[in-house]
Structure 1
Amino acid sequence: MTALHDDPERCTRIVAAKDERFDGFFFTAVLTTKIYCRPSCPAVTPKPRNMRFYPSAAAAAGAGFRACKRCRPHAAPGSPDWNVRADLVSRAVRLIADGVVDRDGVPGLASRLGYSVRQVERHLMAELGAGPLALARMQRAQSARVLIESTPMPFTEIALAAGFSSVRSFNETVREVFAMTPGELRAARRPSGGSPQPGLISLKLPFRQPFCPDNLFGHLVATAVPGVEEWRDGAYRCAFRLPHGHAIAELSPRPDHIVGRLRLTDPRDLTAAISRCRWLLDLDADPVAIDDQLATDPVLAPLVRKTPGRRVPRTTEPEQFAVRAVLGQQVSTAAARTHASRLVQAYGDPIDDPAGGLTHLFPTSRALADLDPEALAMPRTRRLTLMRLIEALNSGDLTLDIGGDWNKAREQLYALPGFGPWTVESIAMRALGDPDAFIPGDLGVRQAALRIGLPEKPGPLTARAQVWQPWRAYAVQHLWGTSDHAVNRMPPF
């Protein structure tokens, strides 16, 4: 199948239509102006012979083009193609977005992927037109721009925080990518009603339309662990660990973007924090492709028409979700929250939250190694399951991360006692991001299937759900949405 950027006729039609649904799928570069844009940019009106198309912003920049000042193509939603695939390139892109190259270099990225440096570089160049260093450089440039425009930090500190080796490199990259100096970027930022607050980073997180926030924020808030997550003043707030410290994120839905506010203990974690927030809210999904496929099923089609653009609520920390999935086995949402809250109070790291009520970070698997299973108010078999999970995470027998291999992780999970399809597929869906994860044995899914005339038993339902592939995780969101549970309702502002 031809990649979209290799089909100039189709790309030209998309650019002529200013179709914002394709922002992030490819980038349009104009030979006469040496500028590259999103497909939807209103400023792009060149003749087709003067346009070139690239699979990534890094590839366009590497070919000598500068980012458009009007549409800010570097800030477009990420490619949903790379976000939902399980191959080497997609895993590499997710890890680079999480800041792995800045922290561990290209050898560290290759090690995480299980390939040689040469193999990783070759595959990325073949599909994205840019190697890992170029992709990471584009990430650093975007992180620098966010810090320049939303904080009062000195440029020397921003250069270090964004991952640049020197102020000179920082200045050159910003000028080359954005055609503006750091000083010009700061002077040109849009007025926000006051000076940036020290320690607070404000940003807009774009997404593709349509977007249904109800189940997304409803689920996150209904299952929130007290002290780690909360809903306050129209924002979902959460605390999570990052490589150099921790973050407190405030995320508020708007019609065409998510308002994000971040408090970081170390600004070097900005790239990773933005990546985790986008991942948490599934903002790089392609809702049109997903809904079109699900709507081919006449039984599911009315649900899709009623609430198009559903996303899958995910997690900022995969290992945390695995622990919470075990705590939630065969109990209510309220009971699972209670179990998790007790672990947080006993083993979580305390934090300060001057703007809200967050008190702790969720405990790490290392901290939970000291857990006394007899102190847990749950059946002995589930206590054994939890302790085996903790042991596997600490020993390295189980690896769960955003750039991990979904099928390998499934094999490792199934090897643990007490891990059945419900737990494994829940982790694959919400922690690992597999868009085709499916939990036909879930009580809510079975009840929904019965209500709308689908088979209730897992075997027949799985067979019936083949038409939903590769988007069965999103079908689950629509099935859950048929109930009146709090996970389906947007919390009150």
Structure 2
Amino acid sequence: MFTDRDACERAIQAKDARFDGRFYTGVLTTGIYCRPSCPARTPQPRNVQFFPTAAAAQQAGFRACKRCLPGATPGSPDWDVRGDALARAVRLIDDGVVDREGVPGLAAHLGYSTRQVQRLLADGAGAGPLALARARRAQTARTLLEATELSHADIAFAAGFASVRSFNATMLEVYDTTPRELRNRSTRRRGTDLGGLTFVDLDLAVRQPFCPCNVFGHLIATAIDGVESFADGVYHRTLRLPVGYGVASLAPTSSGVSARIGLTDLAQLPTAVARIRRLLDLDADPVAVDAFLSEDPHFAPLVAAHRGRRIPRGVDGDEMAFRILLGQQVSTAAARTHGARLVQAVGDPVETPVPGLTHLFPTPQRVLKAPPEAMAFPQSRRDTIARVATALADGSLDLGVGADRDAARSGLLALKGVGPWTVEMIAMRGLGDPDAFPASDLGLIRAAAELGLENLAGHSQAWRPWRSYATQHLWAMTPHAVNSIPGHPGCSQEEA
């Protein structure tokens, strides 16, 4: 996008929020970079320069605008749509790999050399891995300054800075403001400590339009006791994190999603936020998806009724794989029962102040230790789950945020008992593939018959690369609890 200068100029002239996060505008006369929708006076075209990431703008010497706060935009949908090494690298950086393992760790995840990774990101994202990680740390520090009462020293180390001095210097360079001034300007309610967790309240930016019905409805209807709960219009779940654990309480609002996140280690905040954004598919480009699908006359009325549908994903690819295997050929209620048994048997117990949240979903290693009574289904499925758990545990199968989607599909299909439907469901919900399509799904087949589509698999080729979103619309044609949020006025069961 940022290389199409004419398109970028049209977007900033229109102050079009749909492009926030897709590119950033550096104003040469002020040394400030903004999001496309910045309310400030539009600069002259000759005085602007466009960047693919905030890190690229910072690296070029621009400071963040204090009016439009460009770091608080939805992420670029390009990193979700694309499955290449560049997109995988950016997703891994968002998940905190560089902060935890350094650039060599990032390179190892990708199977590249450190030099190749640096060149790849510099060419495609406009900044190297350290610059991208630094921009992430700066935004995390700003969030903590505005949302907690932590000392500046605690925030510096929680955000990943090596010293308070580097924290102060970076905040001044990026925001042209001291940490103290950022905190004093904040009007947010500050976080609290409860039950050994530090809680932070955030408003998660969402690219509009946003239809929360099926994404929240699915998460609520399939919630596994101990790991998830729903009460008073809020969906809650536990989070297994690289260090410690957390809980997230999420609810749709008129402008996006409100989130209350509790963590045992505040340094995990950016990772937790990144995983929640993936869970709710908040960085999608709904305008592009809706416009494309609406070109098919079968879809035009479906899209018009519910613009901005998202894909209910997961916070962890391994967890999602097991949940999909547990839900094969059984009802939603039965899948929840199977999941709750497994969690109670081998999930890690945690203490949280949120009623109903008592466990983390088990790791593959723990699943392999599940007793027979926790697997009350046919032996063939037990064997399949064991094969998947073994492959995940020994590293021969990767379903993580930076996984190669094609390799993951091949690896899954190579396992006895894992068929095409399961692979496509894991690709859609675990790997975040926007073009997954479980063509043999009975719900899709029923919807296709209702629409008069005789060759669903063949017709679906016209919906590429957005078949995962097409799937959401087709599923919603069948009345089911997964399509609506209980008590939510905008997405009643009858409308779904």
User: 1:394 Cα shift?
Assistant: 1.4
Matches within 5 A, 1:82-481: 82-192=79-189, 195-198=190-193, 199-373=198-372, 376-455=375-454, 460-481=455-476
> Does structure 2 retain, via aligned residues, the 8 Å contact 1:232–1:356?
no
| 2: CA distance, partners of 1:425 / 1:5 | 32
The one-letter amino acid paired with 2:380 is: T
| 1: CA distance, partners of 2:350 / 2:374 | 24
The one-letter amino acid paired with 1:68 is: C
Secondary structure, aligned partner of 1:284: coil
User: 1:8 Cα shift?
Assistant: 2.0
| 2: CA distance, partners of 1:73 / 1:44 | 16
Q: Is there any run of 5+ residues in structure 2 with no aligned partner, and where?
A: 489-496
Secondary structure, aligned partner of 2:334: helix
- CA displacement, residues 317-342 of structure 1 (integer Å, 9 cap, x when unaligned): 11011111111111111101100000
> Does structure 2 retain, via aligned residues, the 8 Å contact 1:373–1:387?
no
| 2: CA distance, partners of 1:90 / 1:375 | 38
> Does structure 2 retain, via aligned residues, the 8 Å contact 1:217–1:491?
no
Q: Say yes or no: does 1:48 pair with 2:26.
A: no
**Which segment is superposed worse, 385-394 or 280-289?**
385-394
What is the aligned-residue RMSD (CA, Å)? 1.1
- CA displacement, residues 419-440 of structure 1 (integer Å, 9 cap, x when unaligned): 0011110000000011000011
> Does structure 2 retain, via aligned residues, the 8 Å contact 1:203–1:260?
yes
- CA displacement, residues 393-437 of structure 1 (integer Å, 9 cap, x when unaligned): 112221110111001001110111110011110000000011000
| 1: CA distance, partners of 2:273 / 2:486 | 23
The one-letter amino acid paired with 1:143 is: T
User: 1:63 Cα shift?
Assistant: 0.8
2:9 aligned residue: 12
Classify 1:44/1:73 alpha carbon distance in 2 versus 1 (closer, same or farther; 3 Å): farther
> Does structure 1 retain, via aligned residues, the 8 Å contact 2:342–2:374?
no
Q: Say yes or no: does 1:80 pair with 2:52.
A: no
**Which segment is superposed worse, 169-178 or 389-398?**
389-398
| 2: CA distance, partners of 1:197 / 1:39 | 34
| 1: CA distance, partners of 2:66 / 2:486 | 36
Give the TM-score, by structure 1 length.
Answer: 0.96
| 1: CA distance, partners of 2:437 / 2:65 | 41
User: 1:191 Cα shift?
Assistant: 4.5
> Does structure 2 retain, via aligned residues, the 8 Å contact 1:100–1:109?
yes
- CA displacement, residues 154-178 of structure 1 (integer Å, 9 cap, x when unaligned): 1111111111111101111111111
- CA displacement, residues 22-67 of structure 1 (integer Å, 9 cap, x when unaligned): 0011101111111100000011422111111111101111111100
- CA displacement, residues 432-472 of structure 1 (integer Å, 9 cap, x when unaligned): 011000011111111111122122xxxx3111111100000
Q: Say yes or no: does 1:34 pair with 2:51.
A: no
> Does structure 1 retain, via aligned residues, the 8 Å contact 2:434–2:468?
yes
Give the TM-score, by structure 2 length.
Answer: 0.96
User: 1:480 Cα shift?
Assistant: 0.6
| 2: CA distance, partners of 1:316 / 1:44 | 40
| 2: CA distance, partners of 1:191 / 1:387 | 47
| 2: CA distance, partners of 1:110 / 1:234 | 42
User: 1:375 Cα shift?
Assistant: 5.2
Classify 1:44/1:135 alpha carbon distance in 2 versus 1 (closer, same or farther; 3 Å): farther
| 1: CA distance, partners of 2:192 / 2:246 | 16
Secondary structure, aligned partner of 1:236: strand
Classify 1:244/1:126 alpha carbon distance in 2 versus 1 (closer, same or farther; 3 Å): same
Length, aligned pairs only: 484
User: 1:214 Cα shift?
Assistant: 0.3
Secondary structure, aligned partner of 1:238: strand
